Structure 1
C-alpha cells in the first residue's frame, strides 16, 4: 500500500466513545488518545435506512461532545490539530435493524434469531478536525455467519449482562460466542465497532492540508 501512517506526534486524538472494544482497537492501531463519551439518547434518533442511521448517530455524538468543549481553543493557529473520532454500528437481521437490546427477552430473541443464520453489520466512522471544523465520514460493512448456538450459551451471555451494551447483542470475540462463529465476511474490527482501515483513512484525510 502507498499510504503511510501520519506522524503520531503531530496531532491529538479524542475517542468519542466509552466502548471497551473501540478503545482496545484504537490502542492496537498505535494511537494515544483521550476518551470522551457522548451520552446521547441513541434511540431518540430514528432512520429506516441503516446507512443513514449510523452516520446520523456518529454526527450526533460528535455534536454532543463538541457542545461541551471550548471549541475556540482548538482553532488557534499555533495549536496542533485535535481530531475527534465518533462511530456507530447496527446489526441488520432479516432486513430489520437491531440496536442494543433493551431487555432480557429482546436479547434472547436476537441471539436465538442468529443461531444457524447470519447477520450484517453496518458501521460508521466520523473524524472531525476541531481546528478546521471539517468532518470526514464513511461506512464499513461486514457479515457474520453462525453455527447453531445452544440455549444455555444464550442464557449465559444474557446473565453476564454485557449483551445489553452492544448493537444487536452481538459479541463476536466473547469466549462464549466465538466457537459458534462460522465465518466473518469483512473485518472483525468492523463488527466490533471501529474498522481500522476506514478509521486510518479518515484520519489521513482529516490531516491533509486544506486546499484554498
Structure 2
C-alpha cells in the first residue's frame, strides 16, 4: 500500500466549490470529478442512512470510472423534528425553511466515504462515517430572513444557509466534533481515514 499521497491518485467526487476549497487545505494534489447520481431519499429511509448511502454511491461511481484511485465522497442531509430538509431551489421555499427553523436546533448529517480502489474495484477498502452537527438558528423576523436570502441566494444549499458565507449571521450556535463538517467535508474525519489508508501527511 502506498505510504505517501504522491503514490496515490486522489479524486474528490463532488461539484461543491466549498468541498474543493476544504480539501485543498491538506496540501495534496487531487482531481475533481462530478458524480451524476439521483440524490432522492428512498421511502422510509432515515436521514443518516440517506447521507451515508449517497456518500458511498458518489465515491463508487467515480471509482468505477477511474480504477486504482482513492475517491472521496460526501453528502449532507439536514433534519428538523426527524424530517429531511432538502435544497430549497427557490426563494419562496428557502424562506419557508428558515421560518420553520428559526429559534430551533437543526441536525446536519454529513456523511463521508473514502473509497480505496487500489486493491481492485471488486474488493475495495471502504471507510464510511456520519458526522452530526447541531445548528441553532437565531429567532429573526421575516424581513431579515428575506433580506438575507436575496443577498446570498443559498437555494442550492440544504437548510438555506451557508455558514461559510453570510449564513453565519443567522446562526446562533454550532455544535460539532468536526468543525468543517457543516461546510460539507469533515477534515478531522477525513485525515483519519487517509492515515488509515496509508497516506502520510508529514515526512521527516
Aligned partners of 1:84 and 1:47: how far apart in 2? 28
Secondary structure in structure 2 of the residue aligned to 1:165:
coil
Distance 1:119 1:22 in 2: 21
| Structure 1, unaligned runs of 5 or more | 1-5, 75-81
Aligned-partner Cα distance in 1 for 2:33–2:151:
25
Counterparts of 1:59-138 in structure 2 under 5 Å?
Answer: 59-67=56-64, 69-71=65-67, 74=68, 82-132=69-119, 133-138=124-129
Normalising by structure 2, what TM-score?
Answer: 0.84
Partner of 2:156: 165
Query: 2:142 aligns to what?
Result: 151
Q: Any unmatched runs of 5+ in structure 2?
A: 200-204
2:28 maps to 1:41: no
Q: CA deviation at 1:112?
A: 1.3
Counterpart CA distance in 2 for 1:47 and 1:205 is 33
Q: CA deviation at 1:53?
A: 0.8
For residues 127 and 46 of structure 1, the distance between their equivalents in structure 2, rounded to whole angstroms, comes to 26
Deviation at 1:9, TM superposition (A): 2.2
Q: TM-score, normalised by structure 1?
A: 0.81
- Conserved? CA contact 2:56–2:115, under 8 Å: no
Matched, 1:200 2:191: yes
Task: Name the counterpart of 1:3.
Answer: none
Query: More helix per residue: 1 or 2?
Result: 1
* Alpha-carbon distance between aligned partners in 2 of 1:206 and 1:46, rounded to the nearest angstrom: 34
Q: Which of 117-126 and 152-161 deviates more? A: 152-161
Is the contact between residue 46 and residue 53 of structure 1 (CA under 8 Å) also seen in structure 2?
A: no
SS of 2:107's equivalent in the other structure is strand
How much has 1:157 moved relative to structure 2?
Answer: 4.2
Segment drifting more, 138-147 vs 153-162: 153-162
Shift of 1:84: 0.3
* Per-residue CA distance 1:8-46 (angstroms, 9 max, x = gap): 323221000010111111112222210000121212645
Per-residue deviation, 1:102? 3.4
Which secondary structure state, in structure 1, belongs to the residue aligned with residue 135 of structure 2?
strand
